[in-house]
Amino acid sequence: MTVADKPTHFIRAKIADQIKQGQITEIVTRFPPEPNGYLHIGHAKSICLNFGLAAEFGGRCNLRFDDTNPEKESQEYIDAITTDVQWLGFQWDQICHTADYFEQLFEWALCLIRQGDAYVDEQSADMMRANRGTLTEPGVDSPYRDRTPEENEALFLKMRAGEFEDGACVLRAKISMSAPNMNLRDPALYRIKHVSHPRAGDQWCIYPTYDFAHGQSDAIEGITHSLCTLEFEDHRPLYEWLLKKLPVPCRPKQTEFSRLELEATVTSKRKLNTLVSEGHVEGWDDPRMPTIAGMRRRGYSPEGIQLFCERIGVTRKPNTIELQTLEGAIRDDLEGRAHKAMAVLDPVDVIVTNWEDDALELDVPWHPKRPELGTRVLPFGRHVLIDRSDFELDPPDGFHRLVPGGAVRLKYGFIVDFEDVDLDADGRVQTIYVRYDPTTRSGQDQSGRKVKGTIHWVHAETAKTATVRLYDRLFTVSDPGRHEDLAACLNPESLKTQSARIEPALDVLMPDAYFQFERVGFFKQDPDSTEGQMVYNRAVGLRDTWAKKST
RNA sequence: UGGGGUGUGGCCAAGUGGUUAAGGCAGCGGGUUUUGAUCCCGCCAUUCGUAGGUUCGAAUCCUACCACCCCAGCCA
């Protein structure tokens, strides 16, 4: 897609306008995750927005780790985030860490102190909370609020020197304790944490807060558009207050958009963490997780996720996207990308009674519309397996698969006519007997015969056995985010593991390929796979209007 | 009962005073099809949170009301 045919949204429109008006010549954005967890689908929206916009307008986008709280952050998350952003298909201009700005931020804190715009408060956290007031009542000034700049500077230096315990005091902006916006009631700028930092090591025992770090970091990097979610809107006056008070190189502008809410999905880091730590899923990359790592393992493609992010738009409205919107985007992308092959998940024996020869090796394309994907060998013979659901003794109206007295095409093979069926004592189909029509070989059919259906199959002798993992939504409720007891709304059927018979070509490691099991769904080889013992994850099923009608 | 936001079809989303309110997803109907997939065609809001008002004319302007979301971390 080019800029012209992408659906527009208010941020894209605004940038286009600014460029047109000559107000800016280049845009610089940043994606600023805190490395305290894995990236999820909500972050994907932000990544696509920030990197996408920069690419579209010929600008730059930085990946910035907003690492101001060493208590929660770790190198594991930094590495995972780096991997995920690249996998999603984006390349940053610079990789940055707020920690690398700590010295400059400290200098700026000193500036504020000398200007009389910040003070060291020795009230306890509880006291500060009590004195902050409420939503409807103003707060009370701290008894330490009127210290002189000299006194504050001396204290702040002592904070840095490690002369105070954690929590003994904090640097606060001196704004107003009666501001209706709670964020302006003398917000904390620096706090004491005798904790070593994943990047800065033991250099610091005081760390800036988000509010004191974010805008100035944006300014240091020359960010033109600081995009963030709506919950930061109330912080914007503070963001601007700091940039105005400080001798920063430029004044970035913050623009907010609404965060992504996905049906039947949780995206709070706390809740995702609970799922992992309580063992409800197998890890951050469990294919049922809405994490980028999880979606990657499940078999979603980066382009499919990008397509989804483009389709959902960017606004300031609260929104909850239906799961089918995500699945639709993934299918739309995978349809053109996947290698298409045959696998039978619930096999039943079929004997082709008039086939006397050895196996016939059919040469069939991986994708009928994409010859460049090449071909593979598909064996056919006397004994094949078809899916149990593709035969009905007593078919409902409109059923066009194999039935007694009927005929069906074995895809890429021949048309076969029903001959007989063996049932076991319970009336369950045991073996189906058919005759193949030699004049109907795919690609050289001279019979002119038409049959109602074409089904998939594998050759019994050469087929391999694989494990398939069939995933379904993790939660039974559409709004798990609103339920405190997550365990109570877990879907017990979110993962079904079973074996399947696969054609030989599917028994080869192709870790980067996406597959479609014809008539079944899109699959990806799990990293647990080994040749001879493949594991296929179902990313998403095919659209199935027949199943829909019959229910 | 403070401040900041948001309300357009089942879900998203254009639209910012003047043709019959874009488009996507989902749904429905039909065509093509060696995947009941894909692809193609068609249908799907007399109405824009509600009630008033301004205007020749309103989803767009004004007023009032209603609903929902965010903010009282030394989290981000």
pLDDT in tens, A390-440: 999 999 999 999 999 999 999 999 999 999 999 999 999 999 999 999 999
Beta carbons of A144 and A109 less than 8 angstroms apart: no
**CA–C1' gap, A257 and B60, in angstroms:** 22
Query: Nearest nt (C1') to A398 (CA)?
Result: B36
Q: What is the pTM of this model?
A: 0.97
d(CA A251, CA A249): 7
Question: Which strand B nucleotides have any atom less than 7 A from protein CB atoms?
Answer: 1-8, 10-16, 22-28, 34-39, 68-76
Q: State which amino acid sits at residue A132.
A: R
| Averaged pLDDT of chain A | 96
pLDDT band at A547 (very low <50, low <70, confident <90, very high): confident
In degrees and rounded to multiples of 5, residue A213 shows phi and psi of -95, -35
**CA–C1' gap, A206 and B74, in angstroms:** 10
Q: In terms of C-beta distances under 8 Å and separation of at least 24 residues, what long-range contacts does A107-113 make, across chains too? A: A108/A216, A108/A246, A108/A247, A108/A248, A109/A156, A109/A171, A109/A189, A109/A190, A109/A208, A109/A212, A110/A153, A110/A156, A111/A245, A111/A246, A111/A247, A112/A173, A112/A189, A112/A245, A112/A246, A113/A149, A113/A152, A113/A153, A113/A156, A113/A171
The answer to whether residue A331 scores a pLDDT higher than 80 is yes
d(CA A178, CA A167): 24
Q: Which residues of A are part of the catalytic machinery?
A: 34, 259, 269
Query: Nearest nt (C1') to A228 (CA)?
Result: B76
* Per-residue pLDDT tens digits for A453-470: 999 999 999 999 999 999
d(CA A226, CA A215): 8
pLDDT band at A5 (very low <50, low <70, confident <90, very high): low
Specify which residue's alpha carbon is closest to the C1' of nucleotide B71.
Answer: A182
pLDDT band at A2 (very low <50, low <70, confident <90, very high): very low
Query: Nearest nt (C1') to A231 (CA)?
Result: B70
**What's the Cα-to-Cα distance from A293 to each of A296, A301, A346, A410, rounded to whole Å?**
5, 11, 30, 37
**pLDDT score at A548:** 79
Specify which residue's alpha carbon is closest to the C1' of nucleotide B74.
Answer: A191
**CA–C1' gap, A20 and B61, in angstroms:** 28
**pLDDT score at A3:** 39
- Residue ranges of domains in chain A, CATH in brackets: 102-209 (3.90.800.10), 260-340+466-551 (1.10.1160.10), 343-456 (2.40.240.10)
pLDDT band at A4 (very low <50, low <70, confident <90, very high): very low
The answer to whether residue A349 scores a pLDDT higher than 90 is yes
Query: Nearest nt (C1') to A192 (CA)?
Result: B74
Q: A483 vs A377, which has greater pLDDT? A: A377
Which whole number is the average pLDDT over A171-198?
98
pLDDT band at A1 (very low <50, low <70, confident <90, very high): very low
**pLDDT score at A454:** 97
**CA–C1' gap, A363 and B21, in angstroms:** 53
pLDDT band at A551 (very low <50, low <70, confident <90, very high): low
**CA–C1' gap, A517 and B41, in angstroms:** 28
CB-hemisphere CA count at 13 Å for A122?
A: 12
pLDDT over 70 for what percent of chain A?
99
Q: Looking at this predicted complex, what is its ipTM?
A: 0.97
**pLDDT score at A543:** 96
